[in-house]
Amino acid sequence: MTSDQQTLMKFSDIAMYMQPSAIRRLLKVTETPDLISFGGGLPNPESFPIKEIKEIFNELIETNGKKMLQYGATEGLTSLNLAISKMLKERENIVISKDELIQTTGSQEALYMIGKILANPNDYVFSEAPTYTGTISAFKANFIKMIGINMDNDGIDTNLLEKEIRNKKNAKLIYVIPNFQNPTGITMSLDRRKHLLEIASEYSIPIVEDDPYGALRYSGKKVPSIKSMDKEGLVIYLGTFSKILAPGFRLGYVAANKEVIEKLNLAKQAVDLASSTISQYIAEAYLSKGYLDRQLPKIIELYRHKRDLMLESMDKYFPKGVEWTRPEGGMFLWVTKKGANTDALFPKALEKKVAYVVGSAFYPDGDNHESMRLNFTYSGDNEIVEGIKRLAEVIS
Amino acid sequence: MTSDQQTLMKFSDIAMYMQPSAIRRLLKVTETPDLISFGGGLPNPESFPIKEIKEIFNELIETNGKKMLQYGATEGLTSLNLAISKMLKERENIVISKDELIQTTGSQEALYMIGKILANPNDYVFSEAPTYTGTISAFKANFIKMIGINMDNDGIDTNLLEKEIRNKKNAKLIYVIPNFQNPTGITMSLDRRKHLLEIASEYSIPIVEDDPYGALRYSGKKVPSIKSMDKEGLVIYLGTFSKILAPGFRLGYVAANKEVIEKLNLAKQAVDLASSTISQYIAEAYLSKGYLDRQLPKIIELYRHKRDLMLESMDKYFPKGVEWTRPEGGMFLWVTKKGANTDALFPKALEKKVAYVVGSAFYPDGDNHESMRLNFTYSGDNEIVEGIKRLAEVIS
């Protein structure tokens, strides 16, 4: 807006401070025909259990239609919280009662509300650098300051983290994605997870363990979740149905101690009252009928193949001097070329009809331009090979 | 919590400030068997078009399943925004393009985000007194101060409003529910609506026109919506599918000038990214197939009967000295007895197995105890008669 234009509305300080997410801006640019996009964070629609969802919906609408279409409780459907409690015990060895759970409108709402209830404006939250862009948006919208801590192949540098926390008076939260991190694909080692818990305990700072991809492991050995080792109730665990059922339901959940759940409940009453009852009924049946157990191996097989295909193509086509991660699960790869500027390369990539997300989008301060994030779950097999070829030309 | 108990977490100032909604607290108390509750704000499940929803879902999941289950745009499905734009033109004479609309997770999210983008902490918002409790929660959660303006049978006292606005430096929003207001059932007169627009224009303060019940008119003549008379783009209009389709979808929308929609889009990216794609696809088909036009007369007939039955029962059983509103639509009645204390009466009502919402819950300052809100849409016919009899005994 130029200075001689007058806005009709007087917006709040926060409204003037918020910026569109770089990813969302890029996605608008990338609605070009023939473009191969590794940019989005979308699950592959082939992974959606459409037949099962149809069966569940038709059964429920007959037997439970009136409840399924009515308002629901802010904390979510009791039967769904019970089913999640059972799933977390079986899959993650996380022992949590139904009263230590709350449903959210996707994990995004969980991230936003956690920032709101646990940090004041100008307080500090620590995260991996790079980290998920949606988390940066959620915390920024609460005027929270984020400090990114460097990672290596074992995850966040916990020694550096501890030093930074010691230096900051208003350190309020540690935010991490330990499994197949977004954007790097790196999995945090068991030692680092334990060290994180020690730091949380010593400085009385809660850990937010965001685990959207944990169930999507294609190789290697499972590492215990931080929450499963949490004896003091300091870990706030975030799960979602977006990647193991479908994102269209907008259904995530938080597992945390009752104090935190109670405050999240208050925040949710103000923010959106409750999440979709229909989504919750369907998710509950998906778990209790054992359909998740049946679907997960299919999703894993689909994505493992795509990951392998992308890695093979990169081995084959990428020039020397380019490095990339080899994730054991999840949805993303992280490509780095020392001295490159992926922001500057982006228009050239679009010319060659291939897209990625610029690495700078994943840094709270936006100040890192040598990397790019590639999604390997969404594109078709031929697109993966062809897209990597095109990208190789762009990088060369 | 007693002073010797230590909380594990250090919560933010806003987390310590938020209070559970009085209604939600009451609802927990009222889960007693045999209790007749006029307390909730629930639509009657008989009003849900279950057959149509089932038909739409089955059609869509076959033809459009992969899109319907995928992430959607933050502003909502383009086809739904187009359908709403058409509906608003036809039903409300509101002329608005698809780019002046955004989908929200119920109207609650709209209220919360509007507070966030248009007022700073400690700014003032003006509303009718009494007003909707969810609005009080939404604004309080943004640290906004609410000032309630008295109403009469023509709605908010606009002269008093103007005086108050003139007295306050940081007056940022006027919030009203002009049709069948929650909780009073009062409809704002055309003159008052015009006066509101003049005030908004003179003081450059936007009006939030919350219209969840506008389509539910059982008698009397429609009054034009404020937005339909808004030449300067100062009115932010809120609609919802909760009362004309079903609340389980958690689907509301905002119609406003593009500046406001753009800021709401940014806020929504941080708060929950997008609303349920499934809900949006179903709502779009519900509108474009003409099912709303077919369903609305049925809902109106159902609710008109219930309103009339409650009013007749009150005429018959309520003692002298009790006054109540006679709404031309919506879901609520407002009962007042001078000198009564409905907070103190509440336990006695529960003893007689009947429940209402205490009037004090609807005042931003909580300071008014002579009234109660009754919902007439949810209960069965026999319950309405019997519940009013019981309430008559309590009040006497």
Give me the residue spans of the domains in chain B: 13-48+294-395, 65-292
Q: What is the predicted pLDDT for the residue at A9?
A: 84
Q: Which helix (H) or strand (E) holds B258?
A: helix B258-271
How far is Cα A283 from Cα B334, in angstroms, rounded to an integer?
Answer: 39
Would you say residue B23 has pLDDT above 90?
A: no
Would you say residue A63 has pLDDT above 60?
A: yes
Mean pLDDT rounded to a whole number for chain A: 95
A58, A271, A279: best to mutate for the B interface, most B CBs within 10 A: A271
- Average pLDDT estimate for A198-210: 97
Model confidence at B6, pLDDT cuts 50, 70, 90, reads low
Pairwise CB contact (< 8 Å): B108 & A272: yes
Give the count of beta carbons closer than 10 Å to the beta carbon of residue B348.
Answer: 12
Three-state secondary-structure class, residue B325: coil
Q: What is the predicted pLDDT for the residue at A29?
A: 64
- Average pLDDT estimate for B102-126: 98
How far is Cα A383 from Cα A143, in angstroms, rounded to an integer?
Answer: 40
**Tokens 């990672």, located at residue:** A151
Residues B43-88: pLDDT tens digits? Answer: 999 999 999 999 999 999 999 999 999 999 999 999 999 999 999 9
Residue B269 per-residue DSSP state: H
Provide the pairing of β-strand A332-337 with B354-355: unpaired
Would you say residue A77 has pLDDT above 80?
A: yes
How far is Cα B262 from Cα B268, in angstroms, rounded to an integer?
Answer: 10
Closest among B64, B89, B62, B90 to B77, alpha carbons compared? B64
- Average pLDDT estimate for A85-103: 97
Measured on CA atoms in the order B345, B347, B348, B352, is the torsion positive or negative?
A: positive
Q: A13-48+294-395 has which CATH code? A: 3.90.1150.10
Q: What are phi and psi of A62, to 5 degrees?
A: -75, -45
How far is Cα A134 from Cα A197, in angstroms, rounded to an integer?
Answer: 24
Task: List the single residue in A14, A246, A250 with the smallest CB-CB distance to B272.
Answer: A250
How far is Cα A208 from Cα A215, in angstroms, rounded to an integer?
Answer: 18
Pairwise CB contact (< 8 Å): A71 & B42: yes
Pairwise CB contact (< 8 Å): A108 & B271: yes
- B-chain residues within 8 Å CB-CB of A53? 61, 65, 69
Would you say residue B328 has pLDDT above 70?
A: yes
Q: What is the predicted pLDDT for the residue at A136?
A: 96
What distance in Å separates residue A321's CA from the closest CA in chain B? 35
Pairwise CB contact (< 8 Å): A141 & B271: yes
Measured on CA atoms in the order A22, A25, A29, A32, is the torsion positive or negative?
A: positive
- B-chain residues within 8 Å CB-CB of A57? 57, 61
Residues A106-145: pLDDT tens digits? Answer: 999 999 999 999 999 999 999 999 999 999 999 999 999 9
Q: What are phi and psi of A24, to 5 degrees?
A: -65, -35
Q: What is the predicted pLDDT for the residue at B350?
A: 92
Mean pLDDT rounded to a whole number for chain B: 95
How far is Cα B16 from Cα A365, in angstroms, rounded to an integer?
Answer: 30
Residues A302-338: pLDDT tens digits? Answer: 999 999 999 999 999 999 999 999 999 999 999 999 9
B135 token code pair: 């609005």
Residues A327-379: pLDDT tens digits? Answer: 999 999 999 999 999 999 999 999 999 999 999 999 998 889 999 999 999 99
- A-chain residues within 8 Å CB-CB of B232? 8
- Report the DSSP beta bridge partners of residue A240: A252
Complex ipTM value: 0.96
What distance in Å separates residue B23's CA from the closest CA in chain A? 11
Q: What is the predicted pLDDT for the residue at A289?
A: 98
Architecture label for domain A67-291: 3-Layer(aba) Sandwich (3.40)
Q: Is residue B238 within 8 Å of residue B107, measured between CB atoms?
A: yes
B75, B133, B273: best to mutate for the A interface, most A CBs within 10 A: B273
How far is Cα B128 from Cα B178, in angstroms, rounded to an integer?
Answer: 10
- Taking every pair of Cα atoms in chain B, the longest distance, rounded to a whole number of angstroms, is 61
Secondary structure of chain A in HEC code, one letter for each residue: CCCCCCCCCCCCHHHHHCCCCHHHHHHHHCCCCCCEECCCCCCCHHHCCHHHHHHHHHHHHHHHHHHHCCCCCCCCCHHHHHHHHHHHHHHHCCCCCHHHEEEECHHHHHHHHHHHHHCCCCCEEEEEECCCHHHHHHHHCCCCEEEEEEEECCEECHHHHHHHHHHCCCEEEEEECCCCCCCCCCCCCHHHHHHHHHHHHHHCCCEEEECCCCCCECCCCCCCCCHHHCCCCCEEEEEECCCCCCHHHCCEEEECCHHHHHHHHHHHHHHCCCCCHHHHHHHHHHHHCCHHHHHHHHHHHHHHHHHHHHHHHHHHHCCCCEEECCCCECCEEEEEECCCCHHHHHHHHHHCCEECEEHHHHCCCCCCCCEEEEECCCCCHHHHHHHHHHHHHHHC
Q: What is the predicted pLDDT for the residue at B31?
A: 65
How far is Cα B108 from Cα A99, in angstroms, rounded to an integer?
Answer: 24
Pairwise CB contact (< 8 Å): A119 & B45: no
What distance in Å separates residue A137's CA from the closest CA in chain B? 5
Task: List the single residue in B53, B58, B141 with the smallest CB-CB distance to A267.
Answer: B141
Does 3.40.190.10 match the CATH number of domain B65-292? no
Three-state secondary-structure class, residue B326: coil
Provide the pairing of β-strand A235-240 with A252-255: antiparallel
- Kindly list the distances between the CA atom of residue B258 and the CA atoms of B97, B236, B255, in Å, as whole numbers in the listed order: 9, 11, 9
Closest among B85, B80, B295, B108 to B210, alpha carbons compared? B108
Percent of chain B scoring above 70 in pLDDT: 96
The pTM (predicted TM-score) of the whole model is: 0.96
